[in-house]
Structure 1
Amino acid sequence: MPRLRVIGIADTDSYVKWTAALVGSAPADWERSMRILDTPLAVSNEQQRAALSTSGLSAEAVTRVTFEQLRQSVTADPPDVVILGARGPLVRVLSRLFAGLPRRPVIVTGLPGISIPATRKALIYRQGADLFVVHSQRERVEFAALSAHTGIRHRFALATLPFAAAAARGSARERDDSSSDIVFAAQAVVPRERADRLEVAQMLRRAALADADRRVVVKLRAAQGEHQTHLERDSYPDLLRSLGPLPENLVVSTEPMQSALDHAAGLVTISSTAAIEAIARDIPVLALDIFGVSPALINVVFEGSGVLGSEDDLIAGRFRLPTEAWRRENYLHDPDEDDWTAAVERFVDLRRRGLLAEATLRTGRGGRLRSAWERRTVLGPMDPSPVGRFALMVGVPARAVVQTVQRARARSQVSRSAGPMSSR
């Protein structure tokens, strides 16, 4: 039987890290490689090196391509499997590309971190995939329930969160037994408001001042000028500078997370997946609940874990590890429970026998022009096609009109519902 060939495709920092790690964790007898797609948010070379450092995928197996180069290569020689690691709109565009090939590959997708609660958008954008990879028993239950409730059909399979698997293997370096750093895992949009982010910066400053013998390391996702999956409007370096003179033991770092954890006594965050990496290495964590617990903060998953805490806990160094029951349900299950590779192999068998069903693609109004517009919006100037430029010229004003009409309808509905109230 020919060797199973899988290609991962990603563009932004978190998705490149996730895709490389998932492809790198695939069976050694698979032919594994990856393509980094040229988009306006594509990773820098340094971000790429950091993502590959603990992935299990060699640098030689990764190449950068334009959309057209990708299209030409997979049309000429389709792989057995593609793993699409990207934001939802780009997954939709790539799914259309692969679904249209004469011998289309098996399409696999997933999300790069904590994905509780399950969302309808995640299901809709990834509807063209044959397999949706989730990373915990809880995710599988919640996504399956949402899929059944909405009628947006998906097949789900379980894989240990690749970052947690790498951490558990000790894939960076052995942890320093004298570690004393407090590592703060920064996030681009959690919290979102400037005032809240400034409050976090002030808190980190107070934590550094409280104990000069420990470093407080603000671990960033990207260096200045590098892109992230989500746009960061108020960066922590800028916020910290606005506070005036800073203690010497408050430092900013862009090193890989695994390297930062090598010297960590504890990790603090709002809801970063880095918390799972730390727990996998038995490094205690603190998930700050100073702004509450909500889906917008992506910290609902930590309810019942025992790791939620306050600024007082941070200052006092009260970090902790979650309960065993929480670990089993949330990202740290027994790896023997993983079934994603077996599911992929079943789909590949169907493909090779000519029995792979057509991909289920959500179609909207606009046909080919709509598809061109969606491609142009995710690729930006990296899509030089004339139809893409035309679709953008038509689509932007048309979308503005639709949004104006929708807002007017919403206001009208509010007015109608308020009428009876005011007459009482």
Structure 2
Amino acid sequence: MNAELRVVAIADADSFVKWSAALLDAVPGISRHMLLVRTPLTVSREQEHMALAGTVFGTDSVTRLGFDELTGWLNGHLPDVVVLAGRGPFVRLVARVIDRLRRRPVVVSGLPGMSIPALRGALEYRRESDLLVLHSHREIRAFEVLADRLGLVVPMALATLPYARPASARGARGRASRGRAEGSDAVGTPRSHSGGVLVAERERRGTDLVFAAQALVPAQRHEREELACILRRAAEARPNRRVVVKLRSRPGEAETHLERDAYAELLANRPANLVLSYEPMALALARAEGLVTVSSTAAVEAIARGVPVIALDTFGVEKRLLNTVFTGSGLLAGADDVVARRFRHPDPAWMQDNYFHAPEQSEWWMRVEELVMLRRGGALPAKTVPTGRGGALRAAWHRKSVLGSEDRSLAGAVALGVGAPLVDGILGMRRARGRAGEDTWSDATTDYTLEPRPQRDPVRR
């Protein structure tokens, strides 16, 4: 293409801001901007700074605005491409705005981390996208099967998960203007390629055991208490080395998923070498001997930097824990391995199918450019959001449930009062019907599920 494409990411929650910024940071020759829409999940200024660290996004390329300002901004700037970066209901709400624009951009959406199992809601809320970006061959297969089961046609394309790129390839333009906050020089890890798979040299080694905390898993309080106990044991076993609990949000800040039984509470009384950290994951990994997680995408970031990993299997390996993706990786291990710091490096065959495919196999931006040409030529029909059952009342409930206090309409308040119990009832019935059997969370034979999440994870907080 001759002209520089104008690309805008529209986001709110922390993980989606980090993902969309890193995704677009890797695309050369485009004009980038980030719109942060005010919702209950919108990143704080500090979270924004951490999410954008190491990318070309600076204060002049980020705009905070209310939802009602979105149409005017987009009509005034006429982007060629928008990347919808938020949870499903947010994506659907913004897609309705795009339906009303005077010039329709190409609509791209995606998920901010490892997405096995493929979830029904993740696909259905993004069904109006012109392209769904996924990050591994395994994810592509899972979402294609899921789409077939649901009777949906959603174009998909493969991208390299931003955190799976070597540190030397991330944020090169950003580091030129911001210093070396996140690059390979800061981490000190040279890189090479072997058989098309990214492999990190394993000479550099830090001393911290870094635990990547997650809001959703494990879900039960007794499980989180047991995990806190494992971390205490690890700290007490090596009092001269730190155990770093890497948290996503400070008290009062929101994050993508609602956290219950926070580690800051569970670890209120802890050894001096067991510390809580809110720094960017890249900085934590720069000092890491190894990473421990149940199922965080931080494992991929660690592997890319040559940091060994333990994917904790103390609570099992099953879809509800979001850790079936590690089956066959060689990374699964238990509590005693964490305490003894017996970290692992992944199996190369697993890497090729899971996030570490050869760079030339990432096709998403080429597909985007093709779609832009088709839209400019009038050959790409708009995929508009249908009105659906419930009409205006449902639309008002959807808007209120996403925007929370930012929506001050009477219709939203009324719709929320009527709709919230109804939705809870519908989801409860679906969960009750799907506790066992094919295509559910308990079905270990598939990489997808048609059943709602077992955890209640409201957008409203």
The answer to whether the aligner puts 1:195 opposite 2:222 as a matched pair is yes
> Would the aligned equivalents of 1:25 and 1:56 in 2 still touch at CA under 8 Å?
no
Does residue 252 of structure 2 align to residue 251 of structure 1?
no
Q: Percent identity?
A: 49
Q: 1:46 to 1:405 in 2, by over 3 A?
A: closer
1:325 to 1:59, Cα distance in 2 relative to 1, 3 A: farther
Q: How big is the shift at 1:355?
A: 2.1
Does the 8 A contact of 1:23 with 1:57 survive in 2?
A: no
Instruction: Please say if residues 289 and 310 of structure 1, whose CA atoms lie closer than 8 Å, have aligned partners that are also in contact.
Output: yes
Task: Confirm or deny: 8 A CA contact 2:13 2:256 kept in the other structure.
Answer: yes
1:365 aligns with 2:389: yes
The unaligned stretches of length 5 or more in structure 2 are 172-181, 189-203, 434-461
Is the deviation greater in 95-104 or in 254-263? 95-104
What is the deviation of 1:30?
1.1
Runs of 4+ deviating beyond 4 Å? 401-412
* Partner AA of 1:374 in structure 2: H
Per-residue deviation, residues 260-308 of structure 1 (Å, max 9, x unmatched) = 0000010000000000000011110000000101111110000000000
Distance (Å, rounded) in 1 between the aligned partners of 2:425 and 2:159: 43
**Whole-Å Cα distance in 1 between the matches of residues 432 and 73 of structure 2?**
50
C-alpha deviation, 1:390, in angstroms: 1.2
1:272 maps to what in 2?
A: 296
**Residue in structure 2 matched with residue 132 of structure 1 by the alignment:** 132
Give the aligned partner of residue 377 of structure 1.
401
Determine the structure 1 residue equivalent to 2:453.
none
231, 235, 259: which one pairs with 1:204? 231
Does structure 2 conserve the Cα–Cα contact (< 8 Å) formed by 1:185 and 1:218? Answer: yes
| Residue among 231, 239, 246 paired with 2:258 | 231
Partner of 1:35: 35
Output one character per residue of 1:156-192: Cα deviation in whole Å (capped at 9) or x when no partner. Answer: 0111111222636376153364511100000012111
Match of 1:23 in 2: 24
More helix by share: 1
TM-aligned CA deviation for residue 16 of structure 1? 0.8
AA matched with 1:175: V
Distance 1:54 1:166 in 2: 13
Q: For residue 421 of structure 2, what is the amino acid of its counterpart?
A: A
1:200 partner amino acid: L
Residue 396 of structure 1, aligned match among 404, 417, 425: 417
Residues 261/406 of structure 1: CA separation in 2 closer, same or farther (3 Å cut): closer
1:175 aligned to 2:176?
Answer: no
2:104 corresponds to which letter in structure 1?
R
Take 2:99 and 2:89, find their aligned partners in 1: how far apart are those partners?
Answer: 15
- Note the C-alpha offset of 1:408: 8.8
Q: Give 1:409 shift.
A: 11
8 A contact 2:396–2:415 mirrored in 1: no
Residue 337 (structure 2) aligns with: 313
Alignment partner of 2:228: what SS? Answer: helix
> How many angstroms apart in 2 are the aligned matches of 1:265 and 1:337?
31
Q: Name the counterpart of 1:415.
A: none
Q: What's 1:7 paired with?
A: 8
Question: Which residue number corresponds to residue 69 of structure 2?
Answer: 69
Larger Rg: 1
Residues 344-400 of structure 1, C-alpha deviations (whole Å, 9 max, x = no match): 00110011112220214344212233223211210112123x3xx314313422553
Give, in whole Å, the separation in 2 of the partners of 1:163 and 1:209.
31
Q: Within 5 Å, which residues of 2 pair with 1:289-304?
A: 289-304=313-328
Q: Return the letter of the residue paired with 1:390.
A: A
Output the amino acid matched with 1:370.
Answer: R
Which residue pairs with 1:351 in the alignment? Answer: 375
Structure 1: which 5+ runs fail to align?
Answer: 413-424
Cα distance change of structure 1 residues 409 and 100 upon mapping to structure 2, 3 Å threshold: closer
Q: Which residue of 1 aligns with 2:114?
A: 114
What is the letter of the counterpart of residue 205 of structure 1?
A: R
Matched residues in 2 for 1:149 and 1:409: separation? 17
Structure 1 residues 308-338: Cα deviation after superposition (integer angstroms, max 9, x where no partner): 0001111111111111111111011111111
TM-score calculated relative to the size of structure 1: 0.91
Does structure 2 conserve the Cα–Cα contact (< 8 Å) formed by 1:21 and 1:57?
A: no
CA-CA distance at 1:137 after TM superposition: 0.9
**1:103 — aligned with what?**
103
Structure 2 counterpart SS, 1:6: strand
